[in-house]
Amino acid sequence: MTTALNKTLYTARATAHGGRSGHAVSSDGNLDVNLQPPKEMGGPQDAHGGGTNPEQLFAAGYAACFQSALAVVGRRAGVDTSASLVQADVSIGTIPGGGYGLAVALKVTIPGVDRDTVRSLTDAAHQVCPYSNATRGNIDVTLEVD
């Protein structure tokens, strides 16, 4: 099922060239990164400072977006989530038919909040987060609470 926007709030634009061994830049210039494959996918063995990759960018975006969704549901529930941490692990691998796919594992930590509340807020944030809504039914996304 496709999720249609009621109202567009913002549109980001980025342009990439050179694929996984190239460069990407956002239209406002705030994102301007070299790209290189990870060593596990044939990139240089010493990747320090050489560039990022699409999976790292996706992980950073998903983690930040999910933490914002967590703040929204936390406010609604009267729970302070300002010290929360969201770790996103984005994996790439092969899928049937010869293509490639992604899987995501999100780990949520909210210091000072009991595990059941963290689980409840995490589940609620997963319904609010645009990245979760975009990936739902398309890739495996697992939720872990600490």
pLDDT tens column, 63-102: 999 999 999 999 999 999 999 999 999 999 999 999 999 9
Q: Stretch 34-49: mean pLDDT, rounded?
A: 83
For 3-32, what is each residue's pLDDT tens digit? 889 999 999 999 999 999 999 999 999 999
Full set of structural domains in the chain with CATH: 1-52 (2.20.25.10), 54-145 (3.30.300.20)
Enter the pTM of the model.
Answer: 0.93
More reliable by pLDDT, 3 or 61: 61
Which pair of structure tokens corresponds to residue 100?
A: 């490639």
Task: Give the per-residue pLDDT at 49.
Answer: 66
Measured between alpha carbons, how far is residue 28 from residues 12, 72, 133 in Å? 9, 27, 26
**DSSP conformation letters of 6-50:** SS------EEEESGGGSEEEETTSS-EEEB---GGGT--S--TTT
According to the model, what pLDDT value does residue 32 have?
A: 97
